[in-house]
Chain A
Amino acid sequence: MNFTFVDWAIVVTYLAASVGIGLLGKRYVGTVSHYLVAGRELGLYVGIATLAATEIGTITFMYNAELGYKYGFAAFAAAIISGIVMIIVGRTGFVISKFRELKLMTVPEYFEIKYSRGLRIVTGMLVALGGILNMGVFLKIEGEFLTIVSGINARHIVAVMTVILLLELLYTVLGGMVSVVITDFMQYVLLSIATILVSIYAVYFAGWGNIVNKVTTVMGDGGFDPITNPKFGLTFLVWQILLWFSVHTCWQTTAMRMFSTKSPETSKRVMTWTGFIFLGRGMLPMLWGIAALTLYGTGALTNGVPAPVVNGATLTPIDAMPAMLANILGPGIRGIVVAGMLAATMSVNSSYLLGWSAVISQDIILPIRQALGKGALSSRGQIFVNRVANLFVSLFLMFWGLYYTPPGAVYLYLNITGTIFLAGAFVCVIGGLYWSRSNTTGGYVAMLSGAAGAIIPFFFLHWSENVTGFVAFGLAAAGLIVGSLLGRQTARKAQEAIATD
């Protein structure tokens, strides 16, 4: 066991405070708009905190550190793209401003405004499938981190992760977005302190000169130049630009923060400033991974990179960073860092639970109910359906998340599962907002061909992630254009009919 009494005290205090504060949120929830989009009253600073906390989790630290370990400084390209694209989206208001003006609660809701209820349901199903599969690997990876850093016996990790999931589920189910935002604020501060602390420790222990030398020795030019690195290259960079534009505009958990802000102008400012955080969100943990390679990369070569060997045990690259933390952090600091990582874990998981369950309830269950001729549910009824969906998503995660192991680099697995719906959704949203000829037929073809373009090449044909990404976005775009030109023109519905609050 690596943890001392002080470390445990810090972690338990954090958990109790987090759940206690989260439960306070319930008193402010009166309507479904409070439950899902925080009453649309978030200001700039809380908006930044909740958006950053939602998209920075232990899983983010783990997969970015893995990229740094495997590909050196060249991996920074992915982080730079994610941050710069976010700043561009924020500055221009590309998609997000119009979304905010429409007063949406979920991304698929837009599909009923522009296209049809049927397409909203299909999109909702694909969003829920891609999103839940994406989140499905979080628990296992987060559990690995906790096991290695704290020294908890691996046999207990299922129980530990189950307890953590239940704690975050408790306040998310009861207080919805209000509880999530309150806890996100506290969790953002804590995870940021942990991020800064770990970065200082990693560079101090590994040494900047040693870090540069190790990457040079192991990877040569490919460790610095993303264009000559065989895993990346120009196709990867272009795919990443496309992917991040779609993530920052159409990813349900990010979009929900934009829907929750006071005004379209506030949503733009939140997105812009969080873009700068996104630079560090990627690069700092990648640096930890490179530091772990420098300190422990002495094992047998796999794809040209030495396996990490820590205290005599050979690990996988993704476990190198937590093993490094277990060795370099002292008592007390280790507790603060683990509390920070737990904060990151809980903020992401609670936001994702709410995001995907909102899609299941608002875009699948409620529209099907309406299509069957049943009347609209009251606000209280909708909150109840959301809570049940939340429980369903959690149950799925418990089984899928703890037993499924993704193939290859986790970052790329997450990219592909996200692309299942992002390719079609992004193309349909852009077409819907900026191309008057786009119609329902094109929307269906785009959503289905985008999903097929992500699933078939990656899971069945075993094509590379870059090619799969291009195929998915390309098919979706071609599907929207061809389908819209061949299909019948549909009248645009009044937005008032759908913007219910």
Chain B
Amino acid sequence: MNLWLLFWTFCLVVAGASFAFITVVVSIKGGRDLQQWFKSLQQQNRE
């Protein structure tokens, strides 16, 4: 049981940290992605 607890604790820390880290990165860099996407859509509509 102790090994399982250690394993789940490690997994939980990795999962929580990844979740928070990716959220921050996506929030910061996603804005530029959105702008480029809108430009592409407008260009497709013009064509």
Binding site for B on A (CB under 8 A): 28, 30-31, 34, 38-39, 41-46, 48-49, 73, 76, 79-80, 83, 178, 181-182, 185, 188-189, 192-193, 195-196, 199, 212, 216, 221, 224-225, 273, 276-277, 279-284, 287
Contact = CB atoms under 8 A, between A and B. Distances in A.
Contact of B19 (A28, A212, A280): A280
Interface residues of B, number: 30
Interface of B: 1, 4-5, 8, 11-12, 14-16, 18-20, 22-23, 25-27, 29-30, 32-34, 36-38, 40-42, 44-45
Given A45-B33, A49-B26, A283 B11 contact: yes
Contact of A279 (B11, B32, B37): B11
A30 B43 CA distance: 11
A28 B34 CA distance: 12
17 contacts: A30-B44, A30-B45, A45-B26, A45-B33, A46-B30, A48-B30, A76-B8, A188-B26, A192-B19, A199-B16, A216-B1, A221-B1, A276-B15, A277-B19, A281-B19, A283-B15, A284-B19
A287 B1 contact: no
A224 B4 contact: yes
A469 B4 CA distance: 26
Most chain A Cβ neighbours within 10 Å, of B1, B40, B42? B1
Contacts of A212: 5
A120 to B, nearest CB: 27
Given A44-B33, A49-B30, A276 B19 contact: yes
Contacts of B32: 45
A60 to B, nearest CB: 13
Nearest to B14: A279
Contacts of A224: 1, 4-5, 8
A216 B1 CA distance: 9
A73 B8 CA distance: 7
Of A73, A181, A196, most B-chain CB atoms within 10 Å: A73
A48 B37 contact: no
A482 B44 CA distance: 46
Given A196-B23, A221-B1, A279-B19, A38 B37 contact: yes
